[in-house]
Amino acid sequence: RKLGIALVGLGKYSEGELAPALQETEYCRLAGIVSGTPEKIDKWKRKYDIPDKNAYTYKTFDQIADNPEIDIVYVVLPNALHAEYVIRAAQAGKHVICEKPMATTAEDCQKMIDACKKAGKKLSIGYRLHFEPHNLEMMRLGQKETYGKVNRIIAENGQKQGNDTPWRLGKGLAGGGPLPDVGVYCIQGAIYTKGQVPISVTAKFHPVTDKEKFKEVEEGIDFQLRFADGSVADCRTSYNDKYNKLRAEAASGWFELAPAYQYDGLKGETSRGKMDIENVNQQARQMDAFADCILNNKETTVPGEMGMRDVQLIEAIYRAAETGKPVSTADVRQVLDST
């Protein structure tokens, strides 16, 4: 039998990407939904043939514990709500996928990890690019040092943020601006290309050009990750500019993706020529990989600890931007070692 996934939060990402991807998965299927909006529940029930008993509201959510058709709860809510629903899902005896960023504080991440451990359930983060062949190639070329030691990485992810998801501009629900939302892909890309976790960070906020819109969260931020071997990753992220690139400059060549982080249409090139790699349904691969971990009792390659590591780095980057000083990651590196 295919494992049953329940999506919690039927917003843009669930509707536009995850539900369609679940029509292409081999080891899991869309079995349930959780939403506060009755009209959405009706629409989804009809569209995806979901029985009444598998549709929940936030109030009835905990009853999911009694539903054997739901094996995995996938939390796709605004960032600050991830912790509560991951913890409640674990307490209901379900395996959990949590969207990025894992939470708005590292403290919450720890509670989420602890709740899943206590319940004996697996926890993974929605880091779809770990299942995407172009990004897997960046990991291979960088970590195997195919072009020699990687000296410098350039990781840039920016997108114009409109007003379609207003919670993204509020500190309360988002936790921050572009850094936790899209900048986390730069942190991820730098670490999985280098195969190391940085030892320190520096950062600088972009000037605010739209004071009305960016009252609570940053408009953009440049940051540099420094690795133990002296190499660096120069990163930038913005809600007011468009860029999408992951590039590695190594001792005897370079390799890069542009665009690097989107759902489709990724392109890769190296100093030896173009990468000949197909685009795939990233979310289908990601969810099937997690289902495989559950079915065959394997460890996920994108565990809660990795999500927490990145939230700790986000906190360090904000600290560096606020103080104008380098911030060491030494105090957080125990949990930062998985790449």
Residues in the site for ligand NAD, rule: CB under 6 A?
Answer: 9-14, 36, 76-79, 81, 99-100, 126, 128, 165, 167, 173, 181
Q: Are 100 and 286 in contact (CB under 8 A)?
A: no
The tokens of 194 are what? 């280098």
Among candidates 260, 197, 203, which has minimal Cα distance to 227? 197
Q: Where are the beta strands (DSSP E) in the chain?
A: 3-8, 28-34, 55-56, 72-75, 95-98, 123-125, 150-158, 200-205, 220-226, 232-238, 243-250, 253-257, 268-270, 273-274, 327-328
Q: What's the closest the beta carbon of residue 131 comes to ligand NAD, in angstroms?
A: 11
- Whose structure tokens read 């009706």? 42
Minimum CB distance to ligand NAD smaller for 101 or for 142: 101
- Whose structure tokens read 């440049």? 222
Catalytic residue selected from 94, 100, 122, 194: 100
Minimum CB distance to ligand NAD smaller for 32 or for 126: 126
Q: Are 73 and 61 in contact (CB under 8 A)?
A: no
Q: Are 172 and 298 in contact (CB under 8 A)?
A: no
Active-site residue 100, yes or no?
Answer: yes
Minimum CB distance to ligand NAD smaller for 18 or for 233: 18
The Cα–Cα gap between 53 and 59 comes to 14
Q: What's the closest the beta carbon of residue 308 comes to ligand NAD, in angstroms?
A: 15
DSSP run (H or E) holding 90: helix 82-91
Q: What 3-state DSSP class applies to 117?
A: helix
Q: What's the closest the beta carbon of residue 99 comes to ligand NAD, in angstroms?
A: 4
Minimum CB distance to ligand NAD smaller for 232 or for 304: 304
Q: What's the closest the beta carbon of residue 264 comes to ligand NAD, in angstroms?
A: 12
Q: What's the closest the beta carbon of residue 309 comes to ligand NAD, in angstroms?
A: 17
DSSP run (H or E) holding 20: helix 19-21
Q: What 3-state DSSP class applies to 61?
A: helix
Catalytic residue selected from 147, 185, 239, 261: 185
Minimum CB distance to ligand NAD smaller for 37 or for 63: 37
Minimum CB distance to ligand NAD smaller for 108 or for 181: 181
Indicate the residue whose CB is closest to ligand NAD. Answer: 11
205, HSE (Cβ side, Cα atoms, 13 Å): 15
Q: What's the closest the beta carbon of residue 37 comes to ligand NAD, in angstroms?
A: 6
By annotation, the residues acting in catalysis are: 100, 185
